[in-house]
Amino acid sequence: FKLGRDTTVFTTTRILVIDVHGMSGKRVEHRSLPYGAILTFAAETAGGKLDNDAELVIWSRCPWLNPLKIDFAKKEVDIYAVQVFLASKVLDPRAPAPVPQPGQGGAGDTSNLLNWLGNDAVQVDPGSVERNLRTIAPVLLPDEHVEMAFQLGRDIFTLTTKRLLDVNVKGMSGKRVEFTTIPYTSIGAFAVQSAGGRFDRDAELLVWNKVPVQQHPLQLDLRKGRADLFAIQSCLAAKV
């Protein structure tokens, strides 16, 4: 993928960033990030008419290395396909990874995605969520299945057979959607807390990952009586 003078290459074993420095462009940095060093990543669709770029952010095991951020032209690159390719490399390195094709934009129109995420519920049918994550927002691997799913407003939080997948709708228009992947091997700790008394309606799930620079846990509030906390605890305990 080429952006200006810089190039990002996804090889069979690593991400290679070719970064051109200076006015003359004679100083060139070749930075390698092995897929095995990736702890978590987030793919974000482009927003409205004035937002032409989708984005990929990658966090690695190296505490001294800033997150790698890659912008993609939304009409030229299928961000869903890029997400699936990277997920395959990180979650199942032995499986063949589907290669995104150049000139095939994706996720330009997120209206169907927003219609799906518009309903207000808590714990939802994993089969229905899986179908939508294969058709409306195709981000799942071929052999990946949704085991548990939770919906809060416009956002979806899922536990699949391979990862924790958080779908976060951003902005007033909701056209910018972020898909964050946390492999179970990247989870350092988690906590499940039941709801309190009459005025405390929400239970809570907290997940801490192993990324050194991320101090705040991923937090999910669950409506009391509408999510099986013991099932969530058991599912995560078995994976982690």
Query: How many other CB atoms sit within 10 Å of the CB of residue 212?
Result: 14
pLDDT in tens, 63-78: 778 899 998 887 788 8
Report how far residue 64's alpha carbon sits from residue 78's, in angstroms, rounded to the nearest whole number.
30
pLDDT in tens, 124-166: 899 999 999 999 899 999 999 999 998 877 788 899 999 999 9
Please tell me the predicted confidence (pLDDT) of residue 112.
55
Residue where the block lists tokens 């000139």 = 103
Please state, in angstroms and rounded to a whole number, the distance separating the CA atoms of residues 143 and 152. Answer: 26
User: What is the pLDDT at residue 226?
Assistant: 67
Question: What is residue 121's predicted lDDT score, i.e. its pLDDT?
Answer: 37
Kindly report the average pLDDT of the chain as a whole number: 83
Mean pLDDT of 190-215: 77
3-state secondary structure 155-207: EEEEEECCEEEEEEEECCCCCEEEEEEEEHHHEEEEEEECCCCCCCCEEEEEE
Which is more confidently placed, 113 or 27? 27
Q: Record the tokens describing residue 122, joined without a space.
A: 């808590």
- How far is the C-alpha of 32 from the C-alpha of 13, rounded, in Å? 10
Residue 172: band (very low, low, confident or very high) from pLDDT cuts 50, 70, 90: low
Q: What is the mean pLDDT of the segment spanning 235-240? A: 92
What's the chain's Rg over C-alpha atoms? 19
Contact between residue 164 and residue 182 where contact means Cβ atoms under 8 Å apart? yes
Q: How confident is the model at residue 48 (pLDDT cuts 50, 70, 90)?
A: low
Residue-level pLDDT at 118: 47
Mean pLDDT of 194-210: 75
Q: pLDDT grade, residue 92 (50/70/90)?
A: confident
pLDDT at 218 over 90: no
How many whole angstroms separate alpha carbon 11 and alpha carbon 153? 38
Contacts of the segment 49-54: beta carbons below 8 A, 24+ positions apart? 51/175, 51/176, 54/79, 54/107
CA dist 233 → 7, 201, 209, 227 (Å): 42, 19, 16, 11
CA dihedral 224, 228, 230, 234 (to 10 degrees): -140
Amino acid at 219: Q
